[in-house]
Structure 1
């Protein structure tokens, strides 16, 4: 909602600016028109130039450019003066208010940062970091593994599939267990690449050698590839032209990255990137909360859990989490979510507290239903 208000304020400034520019252009056109008329008269008649200039001065005085521009410029200045205030109110520049003194495992944090550099192919920066952080031994293995992945991806950017095919063939069993069709995808790219060179016989030979193991589950894809043989000299104009799209390479490269990280026991995305992106989303409600709790800084520092629910996008939801709407505590094995007879959900400890350990019925906090604690059922997400 606050971002919508900020956008409205920006739109008002943009609208006023357009109006101001249009008015300036209109007045300038009027002035230019009168001056051109005066010049034309001076060139085409024998009239006294002084009288022509006097008439021009009169016309310009009637146009009154400053008077015409004053109104729109004033409105623009008012909108411009309000916009920085709206920015400051919505986008709080002092994010340190939401800072908490939390102890982190420095070894884990250093590994996450080094891993991020290596994932991006910034090996020199990663080496410098782990050396200064004293983590050289722990990060040496990580570097070599990500370096292999980076070399494979760089080769794919140059349309060289040999390193990727070699890695996928060596890990084919693990890829099958993960349900990945990466190896088939690489063979498809290589087949199309050979066919683009106009070598139909070589492409057919490659297909016979490499597509047989996939015939059982991927016959439809293989049949399409065989159809490409009929258009080897004009594949870009054929019904299979979509196989030439660079997007196909991007999709396979993404799958390779995902599977490579999976076999390393690493997440597909950099934990550092995910943490920062999630933090950016969660920062506004925390800043708003701290504005309300301006005089309770010490209480904020001692809290073990977030005091307010922070909604994140689905891309940051890696497992089910339930926060009791009454106690504001996250559910645990000892304090699981419980479904009440009315359909609402609370944590077990909240139900026990409201029912005096099941000795009496209680009213649901969200509807007027009477709830019998023994009839509540545990939910498993």
Structure 2
């Protein structure tokens, strides 16, 4: 869905509406001014003969004809109606009301879907809503263990937003080995925030003691960061005027909160984004292409819902690309579990079915489509992306 073109069309309508309003108001003001001037002139005339009154009205008529209120307002309104009509057509084209055409009749495991929904509510911190849904869908035990850990995560995040880092630090200390194995600097980032907070609220002495107690385990890997923090001690009580004033930015708190959430989900074996949210977001992006494809298939009197594999590519943002995809240069088909990519001796890669078509037996030699080298199917090796 091209939201840019929709926004541009809306901006044109808004601009045209303002212009139409300005022109219409100008015509109304000029017309009203001439009518009021004529009325005032009539009140000032002592000779109220018919000829004199007709003369004033004739002058008014001439001025009104010069202004042309009806024609000028009509032209402006016509231009606005044309622009609005075009905008409506763009909306009708972009927002197809009959999205049911993109529906495929697929059997889903209702128990699994209910669990996904419950987990989604828990992932958003909506624990009461998740419990209510689990109860009404009779999924009382769904994601119970996950709920406990996520509840702890949100409690720590609430404390972090209140500038209380102790709960998050305790969690990081408890999971230090797992965080180090994943190469995360979360614990040091938390200590860095706490050091700056102590320095600005309690002074140089307290900050130095905090550094002695907590920075030693990180001295090997984060020495440059520690040295920068130690230099802050020279600027106690005036850190906002120092070369290290960036450490006071609230962006550091937001960054640590985001990293804390990521690492909590990571240790729980959960993605950072809710799977349900990712699925619906990807589906909304693909909807326009699916509707167009369904329309083409219906015009050819073919049922696309019966296809096992989509014959077209669905464009999605890079945020929805989680792994590499291989397309065979011969068949132009994407690799699957039944048709994996195979590496030939020459270094070129084809899908398994393409190789099988090139050779009738595993021992028969065949020539690579992209170089003069020959090989056999037995010499090809499956590769993994």
TM-score by length of 2: 0.84
8 Å Cα contact 1:130-1:139 kept in structure 2: no
Q: Which residue of 2 aligns with 1:312?
A: 316
1 CA distance for matches of 2:6 and 2:358?
43
More divergent stretch after superposition (313-322 vs 105-114) = 105-114
Where 2:65 maps in the other structure, the secondary structure is helix
> How many angstroms apart in 2 are the aligned matches of 1:170 and 1:2?
47
Equivalent residue for 2:305? 301
**CA deviation map 1:199-232 (0-9, x unaligned):** 2111111111111111111111111111222222
Match of 2:195 in 1: 191
1:24 has 2:24 as partner: yes
Cα distance, 1:257 vs structure 2: 0.7
1:245 corresponds in structure 2 to 249
**TM value normalised by structure 1:** 0.85
Alignment of 1:67-82 (within 5 A): 67-82=71-86
Paired residues of 1:165 and 1:183 also in contact (CA < 8 A)? yes
Q: 1:360 to 1:141 in 2, by over 3 A?
A: closer
1:86 corresponds in structure 2 to 90
Q: Report if aligned partners of 1:34, 1:59 keep a CA contact under 8 Å in 2.
A: yes
In structure 1, the residue matched to 2:64 is: 60
Is 2:220 aligned against 1:216? yes
Q: Distance in 1 between matches of 2:145 and 2:210?
A: 36
Distance, in Å, in 2 between the alignment partners of 1:259 and 1:327 is: 41
More off after superposition, 210-219 vs 77-86: 77-86
CA distance in 2, matches of 1:371, 1:72: 71
Unaligned segments of structure 2, at least 5 residues: none
Paired residues in the alignment total 376
Offset at 1:38?
5.7
SS of the residue 2:298 aligns to: coil
Instruction: Write the distance in 1 (CA, Å) between the matches of 2:237 and 2:294.
Output: 67
Secondary structure, in 3 states, of the residue corresponding to 1:100?
coil
State whether residues 368 and 375 of structure 2, in contact with CA within 8 Å, keep that contact through their aligned partners in structure 1. Answer: no
Could you say what the CA RMSD is over the residues aligned between the two structures, in angstroms? 3.4
Distance 1:248 1:285 in 2: 40
* 371 and 16 in structure 1: CA distance in 2 versus 1, 3 angstrom threshold: farther
Q: Distance in 1 between matches of 2:40 and 2:286?
A: 67
Partners of 1:41 and 1:190 in 2: CA distance: 81
In structure 1, what is the Cα distance between the partners aligned to 2:101 and 2:357? 34
CA drift at 1:72: 2.4
